[in-house]
Amino acid sequence: MNVEILIVEDEGLIALDLKKRLEQAGYKVVAVADNGEDAILNAGNLKPDVILMDIRLRGPMDGVEIADEIRKRFYIPVIFVTAHADRETLDRARITEPFGYIVKPFHGIDFRVQIEVALWRHKMEQKLRVSQAWLSATFQNVADGLIATDEAGNIALMNKPAALLTGWDIEEAKGRSLDEVFRLSDEITGRPVANAATPGFHTFILSPRGDFDPPIIEAEISENRDEGKAFGVIVAFRDITERRKAERRDRQIQKMNALTLMATGLGRELAESQSRMDESIKFLIENTQGETARLLWDVYEHSLQQQTIVQQLIALGRTDSGRAVPLDLNAVLAGLREPIRKTLGVHRTATFHLRQGIPLILADPALLRENVLRLITDCRHATAKGAMIEISTMAHKSGIQLVIRDDRKVGIATRERVFDPYYQSSPGKRNPGFTLALVCQFVALAGGTIEVETIENEGSAYIIRFPAATGILAPPEIDHAELTAATASGY
């Protein structure tokens, strides 16, 4: 049978009787111990298949304490041998997860049943432990975020990627409801999702715990079922924020390419027609007096506005980045302090936070200044009196980041289309025309990216990222910390 057994019994005659009965049944008794120290030592050295343990032992440790220590150290199955089957004793013994009980005296007892059941159960538990360890390792090493809930909808398991995305500590999240930890909003409407455990494949905005930007996630939620009964859900999710940004940039580029084809031809035709019309209006003004002359001046001023729009349309037909040279972005912004002050007027203020030592960028200086002022003009029109516009720079990965922030609130739908020509975020009010589309075009031709970021209770920002021109750092002689534009006259 080759099953080795360790006997732990401090009554010598009972130990001999038990050893004899076990050997008659075909088992091998490898040792007999009469105290806790020898029992633990033999368990570690001999590694028996089963231990028969008397509960009531003399000495500092009784059988329950010894069995608990062996279980923790060696995970060898223990069968308790006792003449005391009272509830208190059994309750204490149950804590050690015994594999069976044999009640003294031994007359008529078939040890084989108890031992074979204990061995089978131990084997099954070992397989289960290996399986659980494998599943746990797999669960923890998957790159996607994983959350598993119990039948009540509370979190039972969560891996590290899920903890990072949700902002929750793994142990702290356990036992909490899924909706408390996995807080979701609809990607399109921004409205909170009532039930995060709804099975299916979805995209959401995740609201993490703490001071983190809400990522856009792709989540697959499935029920954990066994024989038709649901035992909770498993949520697999990943951050697709960068993918969404890339998709938006691709769509914007496609729109700009289509518009460029139209603008190249149509813009020139409109410009020529507009020029002839302006000459005719000026001739009429010079040869007309009174109310008619004043009306013609109004027409002429509107014609000049149209001419500006036509010139913007022609500019959209550009396919080159202009005269691109290495530039110190901080120096360019410092030189724009006075134009920015005039653009904002008396009721709005700009502050500068320009990080020193950032790399140079490659851009046309005139186009860079022109497009920064376009964004400042947009901030002026989009904010109320008293608004603060913050302009900051910093190094970002392999390039430079320029942020122009104000206190406006930009919805999800608006962020998707803000760089579309003539998109009206507030129908019936002022719209930016081609202004933001031109900025987007300039940034793209300079090899950079632009996006709109909104932070709750803080406003919105244009975030522009330019690649670095070289590894050379910008000149440090400008004290950018002192650059603060004061209020100025205007709107």
Range of lowest pLDDT (29-43, 86-100, 450-464) = 86-100
**Which residues form the domain of 89?**
4-137
Residue 491 lies in a domain: no
Query: Based on the domain organization, do 342 and 453 belong to the same domain?
Result: yes
In a domain, 401, yes or no: yes
Both 217 and 257 in a single domain?
Answer: no
Q: What's the confidence (pLDDT) of residue 92?
A: 62
pLDDT in tens, 249-301: 777 777 666 666 666 656 566 666 777 777 787 778 777 877 887 788 877 77
Using one digit for the tens of pLDDT, what is the confidence trace for 376-419?
998 998 888 899 999 999 998 878 999 999 988 876 666 667 77
Q: Return the CATH number at 126.
A: 3.40.50.2300
288, 204: one domain: no
Given this model, what pLDDT does residue 202 score? 87
Judged against a pLDDT cut of 70, whether residue 122 lies above it is answered with yes
| Number of folded domains that form the chain | 4
Same domain for 151 and 190: yes
Which pLDDT belongs to residue 96? 60
**Domain match, 442 and 348 both:** yes
Asked, for residue 190, whether it belongs to a domain, the answer is: yes
Residue 100 and residue 167 share a domain: no
* pLDDT at 352 exceeding the cut of 90: yes
Residue by residue, what is the 3-state secondary structure of the chain?
A: CCCEEEEECCCHHHHHHHHHHHHHCCCEEEEEECCHHHHHHHHHHHCCCEEEEECCCCCCCCHHHHHHHHHHHCCCCEEEEECCCCHHHHHHHHCCCCCCEEECCCCCCCHHHHHHHHHHHHHHHHHHHHHHHHHHHHHHHCCCEEEEECCCCEEEEECHHHHHHHCCCHHHHCCCEHHHHCCEEECCCCCECCCCCCCEEEEEEECCCCCCCCCEEEEEEEEEEECCEEEEEEEEEEECHHHHHHHHHHHHHHHHHHHHHHHHHHHHHHHHHHHHHHHHHHHHHHCCCCHHHHHHHHHHHHHHHHHHHHHHHHHHCCCCCCCCEEECHHHHHHHCHHHHHHHHCCCCEEEEEECCCCEEEEECHHHHHHHHHHHHHHHHHHCCCCCEEEEEEEEECCEEEEEEEECCCCCHHHHHHCCCCCCCCCCCCCCCCCHHHHHHHHHHHCCCEEEEEEECCCEEEEEEEEEEEEEEECCCCCCHHHCEECCCCCC
One domain, residues 201 and 248: no
Mean pLDDT (whole number) for 89-98: 62
pLDDT at 241 > cutoff 60: yes
Considering the domain boundaries, does residue 178 fall inside one?
yes
pLDDT at position 349 over 90: yes
Question: Which comes out higher in pLDDT, residue 261 or 50?
Answer: 50
Question: Residue 482's pLDDT is what?
Answer: 40
The rounded mean pLDDT for the chain is 79
**Residue 410, pLDDT score:** 75
460 pLDDT exceeds 80?
yes
- End position of a domain, from candidates 219, 239, 259: 239
Q: Tell me, yes or no, whether 454 lies in a domain.
A: yes
Pick the last residue of a domain from 98, 120, 137.
137
pTM tops 0.75:
no
Q: What is the mean pLDDT of residues 87-93?
A: 62
Task: List the CATH number of the domain containing 163.
Answer: 3.30.450.20
* Same domain as 344, residue 300: no
The answer to whether position 490 is within a domain reads no
Would you say residue 57 lies in a domain? yes
Which residue, of 239, 257, 290, is where some domain finishes? Answer: 239
